[in-house]
Chain A
Amino acid sequence: MNRGVVVLGATVLGLAGLLAFDQHQFGDPFALSSKSSGLKLPTNKEFSVGTTSADTATVPADPTQTQQGSTQQAAPAAPKVKRAVGASVSNPYGNVQVKVTVKGGQLTRVTFLDLPYGDPTSQSISDQVAPVLAQQAIDAQSANIAGISGATYTSDAYQQSLQSALDKVGFGQQ
């Protein structure tokens, strides 16, 4: 079932040079959290300036899901799902690949397809910290964040980072 599914970007390689206005996620009534006022009209409008990421695809699989009216729709539709997968990049700490899922305007899942294991230091840090912070991290995903601090020193690290994933789906605090 792909109804109402929007998939953005298979890799991050095309992100450099991306300059895109995106009203979509904020105008979508399903992007409104329970704490939002919900006053914005849906526009579903996206346009780009400059060099747009070549591998970013917007796929409204079901035309009936396109928002053209007011927010007072009678029939609720399935929440839209956005997914973004970062590139798998080797670094001194091993391989990491990040996948995020945004559903109903909320970051519902962050998974990683490769674990940063392999290096003894990384192994130690991961073993030590991940269990302590995992629950906090899961809680944080619904907290409407606008950016990530401490993610990156190298460009490779950026590609692995949650900031990169947020940039790709255009998700975050308005």
Chain B
Amino acid sequence: MTLVHVEEAMGTTFSFRLEPGELNTDDAAAAVVAACRFLHETDATFSTWQDDSAISRLRRGELAVGDAPTEVAEVLDLCHRAGTLTDGLFDAWASPAGVDPTGIVKGWATQRAAELLVAAGFAHVQVNGGGDLQLFGGARRIGVRSPGRVDLLACIVDVEGAIATSGLYERGGHLLDPRTGVAATGPLSATVVGPELWLADALATALFVEGLPGLNRIAAIDGYRALVIDADGNMRPSAGFPLVDPA
């Protein structure tokens, strides 16, 4: 039995694919509702579009981190860690408008929602937050979309934890390289797999900026592997990237 739920939240679409295991229907439904509520609450806290969100008040200097919801400090800490692991390519403090953790919030929230569902008792959990997935309970085959066409796959990946893909198609070519301040030009898409989505998502963003040279950096992080689809449409995986032969 598989439970499928689709939820609009955080300006994108979340797709849940769940195996209830021993959970009864009422408990399963309640857990999904709670996970979705978490996503909406996260949006209310971290939205830079809403003037009254905690993150907006923080950016204006009206709120201290210590007075904000505890998730704010947690996410800002992850932003620091992502910056360290990418040698500054991932930089939540690059904008003069103030700290912007947007690049990490969606992946983090997707992972947290999946963890909530595991805690509720689901036997298998797969949450897709706008194209970045967190899985628990066993490996699944996940397709990586073609950079050129939304309806085609470039490859299939054996995923046990998280997979995140950053592509030109979702950015409109406007992802800025923080080192130069100009639009990044390089690969068509970058994919990272690893245990945790908050980091896989941040690494994929950095890899998309850096291109091929970033493959080795990511593969050196314990448990993480990467794939670049270069400007010519060729797939360039790091050592150990779990590509599945579709044949």
Contact across chains for A137 and B2 when beta carbons are under 8 A apart: no
Separation of A137 and B142 alpha carbons in the complex (Å): 13
Separation of A127 and B144 alpha carbons in the complex (Å): 19
Contact across chains for A147 and B17 when beta carbons are under 8 A apart: yes
Q: Known contacts A112-B149, A129-B149, A140-B156; is A153 also within 8 Å of B165 by CB?
A: no
A42: interface (CB < 8 Å): no
Q: Which of B195-225 contact A (CB under 8 A)?
A: none
Contact of A153 among B7, B28, B130, B133 (CB under 8 A): B130
Separation of A22 and B150 alpha carbons in the complex (Å): 26
Separation of A163 and B144 alpha carbons in the complex (Å): 10
Residues of B within 8 A of A136 (CB): 153-155, 246
Q: Known contacts A93-B169, A146-B17, A160-B151; is A151 also within 8 Å of B4 by CB?
A: no
Interface size class of A (residues with CB under 8 A): 35 or more
Q: Which of B153-180 contact A (CB under 8 A)?
A: 153-157, 163-173
Interface size on B, residues (CB 8 A): 65
Residues of A within 8 A of B70 (CB): none
Contact across chains for B6 and A157 when beta carbons are under 8 A apart: no
Residues of A within 8 A of B157 (CB): 149
Contact across chains for A137 and B153 when beta carbons are under 8 A apart: yes
Q: Could you say which of B8-16, B76-84, B89-97 contacts chain A?
A: B8-16
Residues of chain B having any CB pair with chain A under 8 Å: 1-8, 11-13, 15, 17, 19-20, 25, 28-29, 32, 126, 128, 130-133, 140-157, 163-173, 188-189, 191, 229, 231-234, 244, 246-247
Residues of chain A having any CB pair with chain B under 8 Å: 15-23, 26, 49-50, 92-93, 96, 98, 110-112, 116, 121, 125-130, 132-134, 136-137, 139-155, 157-165, 167, 170, 172-174
Residues of A within 8 A of B170 (CB): 150, 152-154, 157
Contact across chains for B150 and A173 when beta carbons are under 8 A apart: no
Contact of A145 among B130, B143, B231, B247 (CB under 8 A): B143
A-B interface, 8 closest residue pairs, ranked by CB to CB distance from nearest: A150-B165, A129-B148, A158-B13, A153-B170, A137-B152, A146-B140, A132-B233, A139-B246
Q: In whole Å, how far is B138's beta carbon from the nearest beta carbon of chain A?
A: 10
Q: In whole Å, how far is B23's beta carbon from the nearest beta carbon of chain A?
A: 11
Contact across chains for B147 and A161 when beta carbons are under 8 A apart: no
Separation of A163 and B166 alpha carbons in the complex (Å): 16
Contact across chains for B146 and A137 when beta carbons are under 8 A apart: yes
Contact across chains for A18 and B5 when beta carbons are under 8 A apart: yes
